[in-house]
Structure 1
């Protein structure tokens, strides 16, 4: 078995500064599937020009959900085997909501002049081989994406209000947890971690980060999933044994 995950570079101690790549990396670790992680910036050769993508012995799969579905089928993974039909519907709805949160998170890094300098400087410090002009070009490109998607037409506070409502809904669904569907980890937890960790562990004090810090269950989920992924465990007991 030779699995290679291609995704964006890491930042602030995370293996990927993009939630979709971190989502897949976390899923692979939770399922104890060995893989090689290749960090790239140029997505031009990726399926549909998007990262992440997976190379499975020459079979290339793009899109984070498609990658997880491919791995689940091929290796008959048990992580979601016991989900009820209702839980599977919740899984889908939460993933779609996080797609909305993605745009607000990305906006906070690239579009908001209050936080862009901190993001730019941190990225260049972590990855000195990257030229500042490349990031400026990426920023201009993202401005176009935000305008066409719609989030770029919002003033910052109105944009953040969308993301804050997503986080409030997520905290309500998680409840006492510790995981999205109770005591055991499922694929949805890997997805949630990809997004929450890319907010919570960032050393940039955006309104989104403040909201996650203020929600004890969301913050605990960040720590627990990081500990579990590092150990390849999927139980609540394993999370409590991990170091926060």
Structure 2
């Protein structure tokens, strides 16, 4: 019996990356197995002769159309296989180990183009829990990313993952918050993840898709084509989901107006505090940082970057504060803190970076500045003309120590 295989989707796109399923596919002549994602439908060709007779009766242009369509389908199948089957299946034991499933790293140095993946990994660093990254591209059973495994138990959904870790491992960032502060933190998290997220995603995958496409890390002779395919598939999914959510029904100017209101609200809530809820970290900081980081480091020349590096500079300092403390291997160029038009930049021009490898994950800015007093008088992009560092507001000084110093100084 003859049979055929093809891609199918209940929606208006070739493949729905939001609801992928995994299927082990063995390559001919190889014992290795690879993950293949997408909907695959096998159907018997019972009336093979009838189909062929249809070909004979059709005009030449219809035959050409059939053959071209088949060739395009085969090409799409191959490209999607190369795109989504790039990770070798591995057996990972999650016994007493946190395995974090997330998207692959982009090539511009940012840990993730997904704010939710960046949030989860940043949270694990904030609570100082060891974990293993698994960039296999497989979604959870609920079709979400990221998700974790711990002792062979799978957990998905950001809030559920955090609750799970608090219950199983007894870690929390919110123990110092009052009931009112916890309620406020929950409201901020909801605003960021259910509202600001969509406007940033619009800027990333619709309005700024060429630059985002350049940041994707794919290798091989068809890497440019694969990046184009993946970015435009994602763009289509974002458009559809934004429309369903409601924000996608507004014009470009209205979407950016909503984004600006959210960012200004965050800047007002932060004020001159070290973190969103005060001098101590809380889980809301992982949320806010991971979304603002997209505006800081993945959207060159856009309105979000102009805002965060210009008028709302306290948000930029907040992001840099967290990046330095919990992402010492994440290199950035501090000269980029001032917004500049980068419309002439191309994918092939690498951005210069500064090496902050000397910062350990547990270092704070206060410790770094205290250990290098000789550097306090140097001008830098983060020092104003009064010789005060823009990070001075982070320094926690005991009031009694200040009084003793003042008393010891001659009049």
Task: Give TM-score, length-normalised by structure 2.
Answer: 0.54
- 1:87 — aligned with what? 181
- CA drift at 1:157: 1.3
Residue 254 of structure 2 corresponds to residue 158 of structure 1: yes
Structure 2: gaps spanning 5 or more residues: 1-95, 328-359, 370-381, 383-411
Q: How does 1:134-149 map to 2 (within 5 A)?
A: 134-149=230-245
Residue 242 of structure 2 corresponds to residue 116 of structure 1: no
- Distance in 1, matches of 2:288 and 2:236, equals 28
- 2:309 — aligned with what? 213
| Conserved 8 A contact 1:227-1:242 | no
- Distance in 1, matches of 2:100 and 2:289, equals 17
- 2:132 — aligned with what? 36
- CA drift at 1:7: 1.4
Aligned residues: 235
Alignment root-mean-square deviation, CA = 2.0
Higher relative contact order (CA 8 A, sep 6+): 1
Partner of 1:27, secondary structure, is helix
Structure 1: gaps spanning 5 or more residues: none
- 1:224 — aligned with what? 321
| Conserved 8 A contact 1:31-1:232 | no
Q: How does 1:196-211 map to 2 (within 5 A)?
A: 196-211=292-307
Q: How does 1:88-103 map to 2 (within 5 A)?
A: 88-99=182-193, 100-103=195-198
- CA drift at 1:242: 5.4
- Distance in 1, matches of 2:306 and 2:141, equals 35
- CA drift at 1:203: 4.7
Residue 200 of structure 2 corresponds to residue 105 of structure 1: yes
Partner of 2:279, secondary structure, is coil
Q: For the structure 1 residues 10 and 134, does the alpha-carbon distance in structure 2 shift closer, same or farther, using more than 3 Å as the test?
A: same
Q: Choose 74-83 or 30-39, whichever is displaced more.
A: 74-83
| Conserved 8 A contact 1:2-1:35 | yes
- Distance in 2, matches of 1:137 and 1:20, equals 19
- CA drift at 1:152: 1.9
- Distance in 1, matches of 2:231 and 2:196, equals 22
- 1:9 — aligned with what? 104
- Distance in 1, matches of 2:268 and 2:186, equals 16
Q: Deviations over 1:12-45 (max 9, x none)?
A: 32222111111110010111101011224453xx
- CA drift at 1:47: 3.3
Task: Give TM-score, length-normalised by structure 1.
Answer: 0.89
Partner of 1:119, secondary structure, is helix
Q: For the structure 1 residues 203 and 165, does the alpha-carbon distance in structure 2 shift closer, same or farther, using more than 3 Å as the test?
A: closer
- Picking from 258, 269, 274, the partner of 1:173 is 269
- CA drift at 1:78: 4.1
- Picking from 23, 28, 48, the partner of 2:142 is 48
- Distance in 2, matches of 1:128 and 1:154, equals 37
